[in-house]
Amino acid sequence: MASEDEERLVRDLFRDYNKLIRPVEVMNKTVEVQFGLSFIQLINVVSNIDSLLRNNPAPGVTETSL
């Protein structure tokens, strides 16, 4: 929950804000937009071929897969 001061600040900052107007002072200036993505959960790996990743089990170990 926001405090009364936070609510008042947001209300004052966005009082005359119009989301349909581009946020620039000079109309021919471009608006830079950045976004990012990240994995939340890895669900499935179909295949992984990595020549540097090799299974070299110790003597007596018979398990070859996870």
pLDDT in tens, 2-30: 799 999 999 999 999 998 988 888 989 99
Q: Give the integer Cα–Cα distance in Å for 56 and 59.
A: 9
pLDDT in tens, 42-61: 888 777 777 777 767 778 77
Nearest C-alpha neighbor of 24 from the set 33, 12, 15 = 33
Q: Does residue 65 register a pLDDT over 90?
A: no
Q: Compute the mean pLDDT over every residue in the chain, rounded to the nearest whole number.
A: 84
pTM exceeds cut of 0.85 = no
Where is pLDDT greater, at 38 or 65?
38
